[in-house]
Amino acid sequence: MRLLMLTPSLPYPPHQGGAIRNYGIIYGLHAAGHDITLMSFHGDSPTVDSTPLVKLCSRIETVPFPHRATNQRFRELLLSSKPDLANRLRSDEFSYRLESLLTETQFDLIQFEGLEMAAYLPLTQNSGAKLCYDAHNAEFALQRVIFEVDLSSPFRWPSAAYSLIQSNRIAHFEREVCQQVNRVIAVSDEDANALRQLCPDAAVSVIPNGIFADDYTQSGEYLDLGQHVLTFTGKMDYRPNVDAMLWFTGSIFPQVQKRIPDVRLYIVGQKPHTRLESLREKPNIELTGWVPEIRPFLHATSVYVAPLRMGSGTRLKILEAMAAGCAVIATTLAAAGLPQPVKDTMVIADNEADMTEAIVTLLQDDTRRKMLGEGAQIAIRQYYDWSLLIPRLLTSYKEIGLG
């Protein structure tokens, strides 16, 4: 099968959610013997030739990220009926290069990785290829949850208004995308149900986010971060992650500190939002910014926390932590999409009091932490290793006539 994969950024290094998923799919399809052309937005680093992608793809096309001025975004918010997501990666150069590529090559399948890339769907409809939308999130549902959370705080009402407008626009746009492709892929049953409600006629398959589980158990750099260490990982300009850390550091971490004074919190991830800058002044909280590798932090962690109050899909950050053998405490929403045997290997806590108590209890119980971590590693291997997920993806392709 000859496949064209469109991604919002070069999926290497696979250090954040979208890149981890996209790289895993490329690696798995290449291993299954399929021919992959990759087209992505990309900056200057790393150079494409320095990545493993050159061995996995028969051709790689990259285009510089487009620039959108703030006043342009504001004007589009007022005058356009399309969501911000549909315009975020709008690029004349990408359109031209895509049209040229489709003229040169006949593809069996074109796969759009995320709703941003589905904005290029109209250019492919006469290509003769099957079209697949890989929905990394049910985006309209995600925006509605963000709206509800922001609405609870008066100083966030302007953001809530923005999310309400965007959720309605995204719902219309995402429905159109689902109607125009041959296959929709969701990352969880919850997202699949949301997309089916949005577009009842859509053919939806569920292919969860996955990881290469063995990569997280191998020994490597050792970090000594202390005896009582909490860790959160993620792209730290992403609204659900910012909200999670503001809530956690404001309402939960101070209560943990009162009972375990030497506890430390490491917030590991690139591009910390300006709303998080004040955390640098608080004792025992570390914002690392970008790090070359998160696994040393996970291996040095006592308890991994996932206090997410908004979001959708399967959280790759949690899969990584569990694969590394971390004891995990998560909200119900953060654990959404995980099967019950996987949830059974973590602690679920949804309010300040319950999460505080769960953290303190685990920090004081080495045996319980070890048991949870070992159970988590087993569960991830059973449900989320790419060796299990790629065959499911190939089956979904067969259902639309591709072998």
Residue 254 lies in a domain: yes
Residue 75 lies in a domain: yes
Residue 107 lies in a domain: yes
For residue 231, is pLDDT > 80?
yes
Q: pLDDT by residue (tens digit) across 47-60?
A: 999 999 999 999 99
Residue 84: CATH number of its domain: 3.40.50.2000
| 186 and 236 housed in the same domain | no
pLDDT for res 222: 80
| 94 and 75 housed in the same domain | yes
Cα–Cα distance, 189 to 192 (Å, whole number): 5
| 275 and 184 housed in the same domain | no
Residue 51 lies in a domain: yes
| 333 and 371 housed in the same domain | yes
Residue 354 lies in a domain: yes
Question: Binning pLDDT at 50, 70 and 90, where does residue 102 land?
Answer: very high
Question: Binning pLDDT at 50, 70 and 90, where does residue 337 land?
Answer: confident
> Looking at the 3D structure of the chain, how many domains does it have?
2
pLDDT for res 138: 87
pLDDT for res 207: 96
| 110 and 245 housed in the same domain | no
Residue 403 lies in a domain: no
- Quote the domain boundaries for residue 225: 214-383
Question: Binning pLDDT at 50, 70 and 90, where does residue 124 land?
Answer: very high
Q: pLDDT by residue (tens digit) across 360-382?
A: 999 999 999 999 999 999 999 99
| Average confidence (pLDDT) over 89-102 | 96
103 or 144, which is more confident? 103
| 168 and 221 housed in the same domain | no
Q: pLDDT by residue (tens digit) across 150-184?
A: 887 777 878 888 888 888 999 999 999 999 999 99
| 175 and 33 housed in the same domain | yes
Question: Binning pLDDT at 50, 70 and 90, where does residue 219 land?
Answer: low
Using alpha carbons only, give the angle 32, 136, 31 rounded to the nearest 5 degrees. 10
Q: How far is CA 25 from CA 12, 28, 266, in A?
A: 12, 5, 30
Q: In what order do the strands lie in the sheet with 327-330?
A: 285-289, 264-268, 229-233, 303-306, 327-330, 347-348
pLDDT for res 156: 80
For residue 120, is pLDDT > 80?
yes
Let me know: does 380 contact 322? Beta carbons within 8 Å: yes
My answer on whether omega of the bond before 52 falls inside 30° of 0, hence cis, is no
| Average confidence (pLDDT) over 337-360 | 96
| 227 and 367 housed in the same domain | yes
Residue 272 lies in a domain: yes
pLDDT for res 101: 97
| 313 and 377 housed in the same domain | yes
Question: Binning pLDDT at 50, 70 and 90, where does residue 248 land?
Answer: very high
Q: pLDDT by residue (tens digit) across 261-270?
A: 999 999 999 9
For residue 281, is pLDDT > 80?
yes
| 180 and 41 housed in the same domain | yes
Residue 105 lies in a domain: yes
| 187 and 240 housed in the same domain | no
| 300 and 197 housed in the same domain | no
Question: Binning pLDDT at 50, 70 and 90, where does residue 313 land?
Answer: low
